[in-house]
Each structure stands twice: as structure tokens, then as C-alpha cells.
Amino acid sequence: MNTSDLHDLRDRTRQFARERDWARFHTPKNLAMALSVEVAEVAEHFQWLQSGTGDELDAAGRAAVRHELADVLLYLVQLADKLEVDLHAAAVEKMGLNALKYPPNAARDLAGQPSSD
């Protein structure tokens, strides 16, 4: 997904909300709460699986997770829009910060994996 894809989703969610007069309800608080509910709905599909891997889901379960993930993305895009956050730039920035915080060898050591040194 590139920035134009995110802009397309932003524009589509703006139009969708505008057509239904929902924009007035889309405060950052409400969007954050809705986002957390949708994330919980994703987790619910994995809650009682034996190993929790994706291959334990049947076709209907995979479709349901796909739709919940779409809901998560759409609420995230709307929240970022309200807060004027460029999601692509923020994600790239955060990956850079994570790379500094968790260098490859240190991260492997923390995971109990032998270092490749």
C-alpha cells in the first residue's frame, strides 16, 4: 500500500461519512473507541484456536477476519485524517525508531534465538 492508496481510502471514507451525515460523530475519541472494538473483533476469531495460527481458520473464518481487518484499517484512516496524521510517513518514522531501539542482533538475543555473529 502506498500513500496514494491511503489517500484514496481517506477520500472514500470522507465521502461515505458525508453522504450519511456521520462526520459529526467522527470525533477522534469516537473513532479511537470504534477502532479498539474492531481490533477486538479481529482477536475474537483467534481466541479459542489451539495454536492461533491462520491455517486453523476455515474459508468463512478467513473472510470474516479479512472484513474485520478492513474495518480496522478504515477506522485507522479516519482517525489519522481527523488528527492530520500522514500514516505512511508516521509508519516509516516509527520503523526507523524501532530499528534504533531494537537492533537485529539484540532483538534475536531477546527472542531466545542465537545471534548470527
pTM for the structure as a whole = 0.84
Catalogue all structural domains in the chain, each as residue range(s) with its CATH number.
3-85 (1.10.287.1080), 86-117 (no CATH)
Output the CA–CA distances (angstroms, integers) from residue 25 to 4, 14, 38, 73, 90, in the order listed: 26, 12, 17, 18, 25
When pLDDT is averaged across residues 105-116 and rounded to a whole number, the result is: 64
Which tens digits make up the pLDDT trace of 63-107? 999 999 999 999 999 999 999 999 999 999 999 999 999 998 876
